[in-house]
Structure 1
Amino acid sequence: MSTSDTPARRVSDVVHERLRQQILGGDLAVGAAVPSERVLADELGVNRHAVREALKRLEQAGLVQISQGGPTRVRDWRESGGLEVLLDLVDHPGELPPEELVRAVLELRACIGTDAARRCAARAPLAVREQAARLAAATAATAETDPEAAVASYEALWQAIVAGAGNLAHRLALNSLLAALDSFPALAAALLPRDVDSLLLLGSALLSGDDAAAAAAARTLLEADLSSA
């Protein structure tokens, strides 16, 4: 990267941030035309290349649709956006209440975690399943006495499970979900598993390769978080 590229990238970030906030916050409604490159450049005191780069990033995220020869229009991010929009919504919830965002994240986490546990039990190598069982036991052992250690081992458990499931989409989705939840630090204690029996059952099912039992235990643990949050 040349030094001449750096200022343009910084300016593009400013334009991108402003438009993203306006879209997610509802200031630019679905179907509305985004101001032209020339207007945005004049309003923000930037060059049109920076505006064009910011609009392209918004298009890639599913927030706008760029038409050659016509106006750029706001898309309904609920219909066209991807998981990356979750992180934007955490920073700028706009019309979406924080509790609704948290519930959405936890429900998707439960779906992914349940399927990942089933697939991990069915297809992961023994060494991976042994590691997951150890992490489940470590979480259970520290859940009451050392919450900080328990949170760390519990997160490591799910990372091991998703890695063992061998599904890249699950793994990338988990990354986004964990990043979103990290923005709600008060949730860490609430999401700590209190059902030690189900936690140990999950570890045992993974170790033995019982995919049905692993999925059932994972569902019990993760859906319990929905009532705790």
Structure 2
Amino acid sequence: MAEQRIRRTAVSDQLFSVLRDRILSGVLADGTALKAERELAAEFGVNRHAVREAVKRLQQARLVEVSHGGRTMVLDWRRTAGLDLAVHIPDPDRPLGSHDLRRDALEMRACIGADAARLCAARRPDNAAQAIVAAAARYAEIGADLAALGAADIAWWRLIVEGSGNLAYLLAFNSLVGGTLGVGEVPTDRRAEELLDVGAHLRLAELIAARDGEAAERLARRLLSRSVPAVSQRGTV
């Protein structure tokens, strides 16, 4: 493996990124041991403190663990890492093996949104229905302005997810729309079919207001799934 030296700014962050990428790409396979602290410091031309900080972050991301013998072993990240790993992936267009992060995040969005709609229909406070219906009507008022529709879409779905009463869904929603998991960076023109379907948004709001959870779940899944195929076309996003 060619020697790779690290710039002197944010040394531990850069070293973490290099080692993370080697683990995710399989260059450092699960079950293998990282080089000793002294060897890593020499390979990258950094001090041992930077190495310790980088390895600590790898541990926190569940990419490595320290064995009883004191060696740092690479883990199978597909079995151990959590959603926080996505925070550390700077380029959502870069696939992880066979995985397209943007596509996968949009599929997750469709699943969470569908179940949030179901739960919202059952759990929403009585005064929430009017706000959800009014927010859906904004789609028709905006017209074909995709940027404005994108902003309205976030506001409308936030009402639904909050109405679901599920805190885990709400936190996942914040990550999805904030760009942490790749969805927030998807250009709105790739979601045009979903955003421009005013009738589906109005109907979904009505189903939630009527507390018809099963129908709301089905419609929400169909609506949100429309954006997945467009983003799945590699090289077009």
TM-score between the two structures when normalised by the length of structure 1: 0.83
Distance, in Å, in 2 between the alignment partners of 1:88 and 1:25 is 14
1:82 Cα deviation after fit: 0.9
Displacement of 1:151 in angstroms is: 0.8
Amino acid at match of 1:30: D
- 2:5 counterpart residue number: none
| TM superposition shift of 1:47 | 3.1
Offset of residue 195 of structure 1: 2.7
Find the counterpart in structure 1 of residue 217 from structure 2.
Answer: 215
Relative to structure 1, is the Cα distance of residues 55 and 125 closer, same or farther in structure 2, using a 3 angstrom cutoff? Answer: same
- Please give the alpha-carbon distance, in whole angstroms, between the structure 2 residues aligned to 1:103 and 1:185: 10
Match of 2:97 in 1: 96
Residue of structure 2 in register with 1:197 after alignment: 199
In the alignment, structure 1 segments of 5+ residues that lack a partner are: 1-8
Matches within 5 A, 1:1-229: 10-89=10-89, 91=91, 93=94, 95-96=96-97, 100-142=100-142, 144-178=143-177, 179=179, 180-182=181-183, 184-186=185-187, 188-192=188-192, 193=194, 194-229=196-231
- Secondary structure of 1:73's counterpart equals strand
Q: Which has a greater percent of helix? A: 1
Q: 1:94 to 1:102 in 2, by over 3 A?
A: closer
Q: Give the secondary-structure state (helix, strand or coil) at the position aligned to 2:222.
A: helix
Are the aligned partners of 2:106 and 2:183 in contact in 1 as well (CA < 8 Å)? no
Q: TM-score, normalised by structure 2?
A: 0.81
Residues 23, 29 of structure 1: 8 Å contact kept = yes
Identity %: 43
Q: Give the CA deviation at 1:73.
A: 1.7
Task: Pick which of 205-214 and 151-160 moved more.
Answer: 205-214
| SS of aligned partner of 1:65 | strand
Please, which runs of 5 or more residues in structure 2 have no aligned partner? 1-8, 232-237
Q: Label 1:108 to 1:175 Cα distance change in 2 as closer, same or farther (>3 A).
A: same
Asked whether the equivalents of residues 64 and 74 of structure 2 are also in contact (C-alpha less than 8 Å), the reply is: yes
